[in-house]
């Protein structure tokens, strides 16, 4: 909830800027603090920032640098955010004997009362002068451990936004629902879970966080370009990146399954990238019908939970590398329970031999692709997608994605686009527009136009739609 509040704050005051939201109250972010920037597997994923317990002087040889700071009033900030969703999903599959009905209403309210905020900035000119001919202690454990990981670089905190008075974050959540039917989760071992008919579920929570003065809610970094001999340079210009120099090259190419990221979006570029990912979508559509049905229900359930999506992305990433997810099935946290339920669908727990198979690794990578794309979507975009998340509508959205990549046109009167009427069409139009795609209607003719200013959001939308459409293939659901 604190992470959601700080992310909302950054999106409101510095969208696409340099500020990074603080993700945990446990992170101690001060000027000259060292933060590790971790680049991700897929090139379109935003990097993760990991706070450390060290400051720049801890890894610097010789006398410590004494920073010169300036403080200015920033803004007074109080935000209110609300979300309301309701739906009814029924799934019936034969001959797999999977029957599931879920209906529920969710409402959430988040109030961030940060009050008057202050900006603290480092005098970079003085830092540059003090850094002349200085070297880092390359034997320091933090440097050694970070250098071993190809995607991690150091960043030095150069500015931060902090509270000046006691403030609060308040979250109210109300969830009601009914669950019934028999669900068969099929994997290497047959696992059947039986739900009582007309079982009622309810959750009502009201949580308040009281934050003390001088709580950092956002910060900015200067990355470090580190030479093998310990000399370093601060990256001052936007678009310049730090790293550890290897064989005379200070910037390693981002490792990932997709190469050749371009700065301008067009249909040819989108088609090329989606073609590279085609095997992942085919694998998902080829899973057992009962497994796809279960996966689809869980994907629908996490669409509105940012924390659950982020946690699931992290867990699947660890699983791909053969690591055990750090989950305790006995915990009551709703996000943890949601992720644990998905892992049970895949029969991960106690199936060491299955996890090590090549087919299972491919399945994990395909699921990681889709959930990573969901993790990059904005909350508003995921909320709109959630209102369109039925197999029938997703099939139509998948055809629209094909129309986008081929720069073509389609007739709304065709049976394939029949679900896109009334409110559903308006939501579809909003969904695509939020990701850089305009739907232009001329009578019954529909054309698509891709924005050249938004590259990654368009690709992310296409990945999510094609992934969910593959999972929901032949699943019978009604919303």
What does pTM read for this prediction? 0.72
HSE (side-chain half, CA atoms, 13 Å) at 58:
14
HSE (side-chain half, CA atoms, 13 Å) at 123:
10
- The predicted model gives 438-460 an average pLDDT of 82
Please report the pLDDT score of residue 33 as a whole number. Answer: 96
CA distance 251 to 248: 9
CA distance 30 to 463: 38
pLDDT digits (tens, 9 = 90+) for 65-115: 999 999 999 999 988 877 655 554 444 444 444 444 545 555 678 888 899
pLDDT digits (tens, 9 = 90+) for 37-70: 988 888 888 899 999 999 999 999 999 999 999 9
Structure-model confidence comparison of residues 415 and 128, the more confident one: 128
Beta bridge partners of 174: 107, 204
Lowest mean pLDDT among 196-210, 353-367, 411-425, 456-470: 196-210
pLDDT mean across residues, the chain:
78
Residue 230 banded pLDDT, cuts 50, 70, 90: very high
Lowest mean pLDDT among 19-28, 66-75, 232-241, 422-431: 232-241
Please report the pLDDT score of residue 175 as a whole number. Answer: 58
Percent of the chain with pLDDT over 90: 33
Please report the pLDDT score of residue 69 as a whole number. Answer: 95
Task: Please say whether the beta carbons of 319 and 371 come within 8 A.
Answer: no
Structure-model confidence comparison of residues 3 and 453, the more confident one: 3
HSE (side-chain half, CA atoms, 13 Å) at 237:
2
Please report the pLDDT score of residue 333 as a whole number. Answer: 57
Please report the pLDDT score of residue 324 as a whole number. Answer: 65
In angstroms, the Cα distances linking 279 to 46, 94, 168 are 24, 26, 47
pLDDT digits (tens, 9 = 90+) for 394-405: 999 999 998 888
Lowest mean pLDDT among 161-170, 240-249, 449-458: 240-249
- 216 — phi, psi (to 5°)? -75, 130
Highest mean pLDDT among 139-143, 342-346, 429-433: 139-143
Task: Please say whether the beta carbons of 447 and 409 come within 8 A.
Answer: yes
Helix (H) or strand (E) holding 216: strand 216-226
Please report the pLDDT score of residue 361 as a whole number. Answer: 80
Beta bridge partners of 117: 163
* CA-derived radius of gyration, the chain: 24
Task: Please say whether the beta carbons of 363 and 346 come within 8 A.
Answer: yes
pLDDT digits (tens, 9 = 90+) for 380-389: 888 888 888 8
Give 237: exposed, middle or buried? Use CB within 10 Å, 0-12, 13-18, 19+. Answer: exposed
Q: Are strands 33-38 and 152-163 parallel, antiparallel or unpaired?
A: antiparallel
């Amino acid at each position: 909830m604190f992470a959601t509040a700080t992310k909302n704050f950054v999106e409101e005051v510095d969208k696409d800027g340099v500020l990074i939201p603080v993700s945990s109250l446990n992170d101690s972010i001060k000027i000259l603090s060292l933060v590790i920037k971790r680049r991700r597997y897929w090139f379109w994923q935003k990097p993760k920032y990991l706070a450390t317990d060290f400051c720049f002087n801890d890894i610097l040889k010789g006398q410590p640098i004494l920073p010169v700071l300036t403080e200015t009033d920033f803004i007074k900030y109080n935000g209110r955010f609300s979300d309301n969703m309701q739906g009814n999903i029924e799934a019936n599959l034969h001959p797999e004997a999977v029957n599931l009905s879920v209906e529920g209403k969710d409402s959430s309210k988040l109030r961030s009362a940060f009050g008057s905020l202050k900006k603290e900035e480092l005098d970079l000119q003085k830092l540059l002068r003090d850094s002349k001919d200085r070297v880092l202690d390359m034997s320091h454990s933090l440097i050694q451990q970070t250098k071993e990981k190809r995607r991690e670089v150091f960043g030095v905190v150069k500015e931060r936004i902090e509270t000046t008075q006691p403030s609060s974050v308040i979250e109210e959540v109300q969830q009601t629902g009914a669950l019934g039917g028999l669900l068969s989760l099929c994997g290497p071992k047959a696992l059947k879970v039986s739900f009582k008919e007309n079982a009622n579920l309810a959750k009502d929570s009201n949580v308040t966080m009281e934050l003390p003065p001088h709580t950092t809610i956002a910060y900015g970094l200067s990355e470090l370009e580190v030479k093998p001999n310990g000399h370093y340079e601060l990256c001052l210009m936007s678009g310049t990146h730090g790293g550890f120099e290897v064989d005379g090259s200070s910037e390693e190419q981002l490792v990932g399954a997709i190469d050749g990221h371009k700065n301008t979006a067009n249909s040819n570029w989108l088609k090329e990238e989606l073609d590279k990912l085609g095997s992942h979508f085919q694998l998902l559509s080829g899973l057992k019908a009962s497994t796809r049905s279960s996966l689809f229900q869980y994907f629908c359930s996490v669409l509105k939970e940012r924390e659950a999506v982020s946690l699931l992305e992290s867990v699947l990433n660890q699983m791909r590398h053969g690591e055990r997810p750090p989950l305790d099935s006995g915990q009551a946290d709703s996000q943890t329970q949601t992720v644990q339920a998905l892992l049970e669908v895949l029969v991960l727990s106690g199936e060491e031999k299955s996890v090590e198979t090549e087919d299972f690794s491919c399945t994990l990578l395909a699921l990681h692709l889709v959930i990573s794309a969901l993790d990059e979507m904005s909350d508003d975009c995921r909320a709109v997608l959630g209102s369109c998340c039925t197999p029938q509508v997703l099939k139509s959205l998948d055809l629209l994605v094909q129309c986008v990549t081929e720069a073509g046109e389609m007739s709304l009167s065709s049976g394939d686009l029949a679900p896109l009427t009334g409110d559903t069409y308006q939501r579809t139009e909003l969904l695509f527009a939020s990701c850089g795609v305009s739907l232009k209607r001329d009578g019954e003719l529909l054309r698509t136009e891709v924005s050249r200013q938004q590259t990654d959001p368009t690709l992310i939308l296409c990945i999510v739609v094609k992934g969910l459409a593959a999972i929901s293939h032949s699943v019978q659901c009604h919303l």
